[in-house]
Every structure is written in C-alpha cells, then in structure tokens.
Structure 1
Amino acid sequence: MKLAIIDRDGVINHDSDAYIKSPDEWVPIEGSLDALARLSRAGWKVVIASNQSGLARGLFTIESLNAIHAKLRHELAQAGGTIDAIFICPHGPDDGCECRKPRPGMFLDIARRYDISLQDVPAVGDSWRDLQAASTAGCTPWLVMTGNGQKTWDKGDLPSGTQVRANLAEVVDAWLEG
C-alpha cells in the first residue's frame, strides 16, 4: 500500500495566524487539490495529520472543523480525488499530549490504523514540528515552501533526509515519477 501523510494548513490550504475557523476561511492553495486528486487516482491512500489547537482554545467547534473538512472533501471530489482519513490533535500546546506535532503520536495512530510500518512513508509539512513528528515516526519528511515553509527553511535544523519542494504539486510530481 502506498500511503502519504499530509499536513493541512499551509500545505493544502492557505494558513492564517488567526486560525482557519470556518469553511469560508478555508481556501486551497493553487494546485493542491489537483495534486491530491492525482495521488488518490494513482492508488495512494491520502491521510491528513493536522494540529488543531483552535479547538482547545475555543476558537471554533468540532462542528465547524467537520464543516471545513466536508468542504475540503467536496472540493477534492470535484477534482477527482479522495481523502482516506483525517487525523487531528485537538489539544493546545501546553496540554502535554502525545498526538500534537512535533510529537509522533498522530503518526503512530496512523500506523496502527493501517497496520503498517511508517518506514519511508512520505509526510509533507510546512513547519519544523510537522517534519520532526514525521522523522521521529520513521517517515521521510518533505518540506513545502508554502505556508510557513520559507520560515522553516530559513531557520534550518531540518530533520535528516528532508526533501524540499516549492509546493504540494511538486511533491506529488516527485512521488509519482519515483
């Protein structure tokens, strides 16, 4: 089975320092939905792994988050693709949970769900915490320069073996060519 783990905000859709709190605020990055559709049509399982501390902060409800994900799934279906699963961490940064990236708990939950090793499974993110969680779980980290990607690149200290591309479309191109 080919599995891809992908962060949401800053990779699939435009991010916001004020959080994405409603479906109206969820706006895909150009080319990202087509990239995900190409991946799913090629037989890959597409899984989203996303910190959603806005839930813990009371900035939006689980119903709002579900509506955002319904919009994502609908727009992706219009492009001919599907999301196999969405994993979230609903906790705040000080809650001490194991699922909040940069900890690998969400990735380990994905491995259990699919009953697979994450060794060399590609995982895409735009922040150090995405890459660190992926690397700790055994995935191959991929950094996109969208969202917080440029800031992450400028800070350096990327996990060993991190691949870098301009955006999700270029990442998917590399995966499908490889």
Structure 2
Amino acid sequence: MNKAVFLDRDGVINEVKSNRVKFVNRKEDLYFLEGVAEAIKKLNEAGFHIFVVTNQGGVGLGYMTEETLEDIHQHMARELAKEGANITEIMACTHSPHENCYCRKPGSQMLLDLIDDYDVDIMKSYLVGDREPDIEAGNAVGIKSLMVVNTHPEAYKCFKNLSEAVEWILEDEKA
C-alpha cells in the first residue's frame, strides 16, 4: 500500500483572496505561497504520493471553463516540477456549490477515488486544507486532517502554513 498527502489547492498551495488575486480563474492568477515547492519536494523525497483535491465551483458557476481550469492545473504542476516538487494527480470538483454532489468537499468522493486508484493506506496518509470542508472530507475517510492558516476544532493539528505541516508530517511518520 502507498502513503499519500492530499492537498487542497487555494489557500494551501496558492494565494486566494489576497492583495494580488481574489480567485484563480486563469493561470496568470496563480501565485504560489511561500515554501510550497520545497515542502512538496520533501514529501516526494519521503515517498509520499501528492494529490491535489480542490473544489472549483467557478466552472459550474460559469467564471471559467473546464479547459481553463485544466490549463491552470497543468501550469501549476509544471511550475512545481521545475523546483523538483511533483504532483501525482490533480482532482477537481467543478460542480457549483449548490449542486450537492458527492465529490465536492466536504463530500469525500475525490479522496475515495484516489485512495482506491492508488492503493493508498489511509493510516499512513494525511490531508492538508485551509477550510472546514477540507477537514470534514479527510475525517470522513479516516485520514489525519491538518489545517493551515485557520484553526478548526476537528482538525488533527493546526499550522500556519504548508511548510510547518510538512515538517510535522515527516516527524509524525517516524513515530
């Protein structure tokens, strides 16, 4: 079985609702948060599969197309790979927030599909998110769910950014 880290995108990997960008609706709006590439690279070196699981309701709401979202994700993966940080797969729910689909977090279908497709051991895996729906999705499948930027009582642990969370993951894995 494989170990994995599931990362939310907006607020964990890239800026959102910042001074530079409100939402990432085109690749030019993608600004990586400090230390993200290095943190992902450390996880790669430790043998983790890295999955990005993201709600992208802007597609369902008409703010961008599926093709534009794919372009953003390819750009993100390419730029991270230049720094030695590799993403195994990116999965996005493109339904609008009001469609109540199973894949949109806090639903856990994206996680369940990746767990099944990659034979992931949930006991050796982690989820890192920045909002309550991320934590709820991870908890629903039994993964240690870590919160960055914000705090949440149901998060296993809370950190100020992905770099801090990754340092803790690497230590926790040794325990």
Fold match (TM-score > 0.5): yes
How far apart are 1:130 and its partner, in Å?
A: 0.4
Deviates more, 1:104-113 or 1:7-16: 104-113
CA shift, 1:99, in A, is 0.5
Map 1:9-28; keep pairs closer than 5 Å: 9-16=10-17, 18-28=22-32
Q: Does the 8 Å CA contact 1:3/1:122 hold for their aligned counterparts?
A: yes
Cα drift, residue 18 of structure 1: 4.3
| Match of residue 156, structure 2, among 127, 152, 162 | 162
Q: C-alpha displacement at 1:120, in angstroms?
A: 5.2
The equivalent of 2:41 in structure 1 is 37
94, 102, 107: which one aligns with 1:103: 107
Amino acid at match of 1:75: E
Q: Hey, what does 1:128 align to over in structure 2? A: 132
Amino acid at match of 1:123: L
- Separation in structure 1 between the aligned mates of residue 160 and residue 141 of structure 2, nearest angstrom: 24
Give the root-mean-square deviation of aligned CA atoms: 1.5
Equivalent residue number for residue 140 of structure 1: 144
CA distance in 1, matches of 2:141, 2:73: 25
In 1: Cα distance, 2:30 partner to 2:160 partner: 21
Q: Secondary structure at the match of 1:107?
A: helix
1:171 aligned to which of 161, 165, 169: 165
Structure 2 length-normalised TM: 0.90
Q: Which stretches of structure 1, 4 residues or longer, exceed 3 Å deviation after superposition?
A: none
User: TM-score scaled by structure 1?
Assistant: 0.88
Aligned partners of 2:4 and 2:125 also within 8 Å: yes
- Aligned partners of 2:36 and 2:62: how far apart in 1? 28
How far is the alpha carbon of 1:117 from its aligned partner?
4.4
For structure 2, list consecutive stretches of 5 or more residues without a partner in the other structure: none
- Asked if 1:73 corresponds to 2:67, the answer is no
Paired AA for residue 95 in structure 1? E
Which ranges in structure 1 are unaligned for 5 or more consecutive residues?
Answer: none
